[in-house]
Amino acid sequence: MKLTKEQAQEIKDQQSQASTTKRVNSPELEEILYEALPILDHGFIRVVDYMGNDTSIVQAARVSYGKGTKKVNTDSGLIKYLMRHWHSTPFEMCEIKYHIKLPIFIARQWIRHRTANVNEYSARYSILDKEFYLPKTENLAAQSQSNRQGRGDILEGDQAKKVLDLLKGDAERTYSNYEEMLNERYDGTIIDENKIGLARELARMNLTLNTYTQWYWKTDLLNLMNFLRLRADHHAQYEIRAYADVMLDTLKKWVPTTYEAFMDYRVGGTEVSAKGKSIIQKLIKGDDISMEDSGLSKREWNELMEAFDLKSKLI
CA distances from 154 to 4, 73, 140, 246 (A): 34, 51, 6, 24
244/203 Cα distance (integer angstroms): 31
Angstrom distances, CA of residue 257 to CA of 43, 55, 83, 200, 309: 29, 10, 11, 47, 29
Contact 91, 79 (CB under 8 A): no
Percent of all residues in the chain with a pLDDT value above 90, rounded to a whole number: 68
Annotation says 231 is catalytic: yes
**Distances, alpha carbon 244 to alpha carbons 24, 181, 241, in Å:** 25, 36, 5
Least confident window among 13-22, 233-242, 289-298:
13-22
- Mean pLDDT across 162-191: 94
Q: What pLDDT score was predicted for residue 117?
A: 97
**Can you tell me the distance from the alpha carbon of 231 to that of 253, in angstroms, rounded to the nearest whole number?**
19
Query: How far apart, in Å, are the Cα atoms of 71 and each of 54, 67, 196, 274?
Result: 19, 8, 73, 29
246-251: average pLDDT: 98
* DSSP three-state, residue 299: helix
Sheet containing 37-39, strands listed edge to edge, beginning at the edge strand earlier in sequence: 37-39, 43-51, 95-103, 212-220, 117-120
Compute CA distances 44 → 104, 116, 173, 226, 246, whole Å: 14, 19, 25, 21, 9
Residue 145 clears pLDDT 80, i.e. is over it: no
Environment class of 98 (CB within 10 Å of its CB; exposed 0-12, middle 13-18, buried 19+)? buried
Rounded alpha-carbon distances, angstroms, from residue 184 to 122, 148, 203: 16, 41, 11
**Res. 187 pLDDT band, cuts 50 70 90:** confident
Give the pLDDT of residue 171. Answer: 97
Select which of 46, 200, 204, 231 is catalytic. 231
Residue 136's alpha-carbon distances to 38, 300, 306, in angstroms, are 15, 35, 30
The mean per-residue pLDDT over the stretch 254-261 comes to 97
Cα(211)–Cα(172) distance, integer angstroms: 10
Beta strands in 8-149 (DSSP E): 37-39, 43-51, 95-103, 117-120, 141-143
Amino acid at 134: L
